[in-house]
Amino acid sequence: MPGARRRENLGIRSSEVIELAEQQLTRPGAVTRAQGPGDTPMETGSRCRSEAGVDEAPNSWALVVLLLVAAIGAWIGRYVILHAPDAAQFTGEKKAALELWAGLIGGFCGYSLAAGFVMTRWSWQVLKIFKPRAPLGSAVRWALATGLILVTVWLATSGTPAATVNGRPVHLFLRELNGITIAGGVVALPGLVGFLALRSLAGNDSQWDEEPRCQILMVARLRQHLRRLLGAFGLFLTLLVVTTAARRQVVLTLHKNATYPQEYVLLYGLIAVAVLALFYVSATMAIDRRCERLLDRYAPIPDPGAEDISTPLKRRQDLSALLGLGASWQNSFQNGIVVFAPLLTALIGTALPK
C-alpha cells in the first residue's frame, strides 16, 4: 500500500540518520553530510558548538585560587559577626554559641563566594553555546526575572520577625545579616541565570540546526551544566538553612524567655526548595521536550503492522538512553535529594532542643 510504503521509507531514512550519528560519534573528524527530514544539508567537518568550551579546562592553579577565595570569604563572614556591636552581649558560656554560629556564617560566606565564581563560569559557558551569541534582550530578561524573585523572597522573609521577647521583636545582627543576604543574592544571580539560559537554549529551535551528532552532544552538554548548577546551588541553599537554624540557637541562648518558632526554620527550607525547584524543573522540562522531539525525529515509533518492529524499537530505545530520557530511579532519587536538601535540613534543625 502507498501509505505503508511511505512509512517504511521514513523508517529507513531515520535509521540511516541514526547510523550516521553513530558513525560521527566514533569518527568525529570525518567529513560527512547529514540530511534529516526537512534539514538543510551541511558539511560536518567543523567542530560542534557545544564543544567550544571543552578545552577550556582550569589550570593547575585554579583549585588553589578557588580555595583561597573560599578562605577569604570565610574569614570575612566570621569577622563581620564576631566584631558586630551585638556580639558584645555574648560573654562567658554564651560566647560559645556565638562562636559556633560565626563559624557557620564563615563557612556559608566562603562557599558562597567560591560557588559564585564557579557558577559564573558555568553560566558563561552556557551563554557561549548560543549562535551567533546570546541575545542581549533575553539575558536582561533573565537577570530581571531572577532579581525580582530574589527580592520577593527577601521581602517575604524580612517582614517576619524571627524572635520576640515579651511581644517585642529581636533584631540581633540585623544589619550584618542584611548585608550577607544581599551579597548572597548577588552570588546566586549567575547560577539562577544559568538555569534560565539552559531553558532558553533547549527551547529555541534556531539553536538546533546542526547535524544529528552535534545535537546529541549538545543535549549531553546541557544536562552536564544542569547537574553542575543543581549541585552547587543546592548546597548553597542548604548552608543557608543551616545558618538560619543555628541563629535560632544563638537568640535563645542570649534570651532564655524568647519565643522563636521552629516553623521559621521550616519557612526558610520551604522557600529554598521552591526557588530551586522552580528553576531546575523549568530547565529540565525544556531539555526533556527537546529530547522527545529529537527522538521522534530520528527514531520514530514504527508501524505496529510492519513485519519487523524490533530493530526500530531497539534503535529508539538506544537513542532514548543516549539522550537521557527515562532516567533511572537512582538519578531521579539523587536529583530529588539535592532539590529537597534544604527542607530536610530544616526538618533536622527543628529537632534541635530549644
What pLDDT, in 10s, does the model give residues 319-338?
A: 888 888 876 556 766 777 78
Please report the pLDDT score of residue 346 as a whole number.
78
- Residue 162 pLDDT > 70, yes or no? no
Greatest extent of the chain over all pairs of C-alpha atoms, in Å: 92
Tell me which range, 61-70, 135-144, 281-290, is most confidently predicted by mean pLDDT. 281-290
Amino acid at 270: L
Average pLDDT, stretch 1-15? 44
Q: Which candidate, 204, 195, 209, places its Cα nearest to that of 290?
A: 204
Q: Which candidate, 156, 106, 146, 126, places its Cα nearest to that of 53?
A: 126
Give per-residue pLDDT as tens, 263-314: 788 888 888 889 999 999 999 999 999 999 999 999 888 888 878 888 888 9
pLDDT-derived band at 160 (thresholds 50, 70, 90) equals: low
- Say if CB 323 and CB 291 are below 8 A apart: yes
pLDDT-derived band at 94 (thresholds 50, 70, 90) equals: confident
pTM: 0.78
Domain residue spans of the chain: 60-350
Please report the pLDDT score of residue 143 as a whole number.
87
Give per-residue pLDDT as tens, 179-238: 898 898 899 999 999 999 999 999 999 889 888 889 999 999 999 999 999 999 889 988
Please report the pLDDT score of residue 324 as a whole number.
84
Q: Which three cell numbers stand for residue 23?
A: 558513525
Please report the pLDDT score of residue 328 as a whole number.
59
- Residue 249 pLDDT > 90, yes or no? no
- Residue 33 pLDDT > 50, yes or no? no
Please report the pLDDT score of residue 34 as a whole number.
39
Distance between CA 318 and CA 25 in Å, rounded? 14
Mind spelling out the 3-state secondary structure of the chain? CHHHHHHHHHHHHHHHHHHHHHHHHHCCCCCCEECCCCCCCEECCCCCHHHCCCCCCCCCCHHHHHHHHHHHHHHHHHHHHHCCHHHHHCCCCHHHHHHHHHHHHHHHHHHHHHHHHHHHHHHHHHHHHCCCCCCHHHHHHHHHHHHHHHHHHHHHHHCCCCEEECCEEECCCHHHHHHHHHHHHHHHHHHHHHHHHHHHHHHCHHHCCCCHHHHHHHHHHHHHHHHHHHHHHHHHHHHHHHHHHHHHHHHHHHCCCCECCCHHHHHHHHHHHHHHHHHHHHHHHHHHHHHHHHHHHHCCCCCCCCCCCHHHHHHHHHHHHHHCCCCCHHHHHHHHHHHCHHHHHHHHHHCCCC
The mean pLDDT value of the chain amounts to: 79
- Provide φ and ψ at 245, rounded to 5°: -65, -35
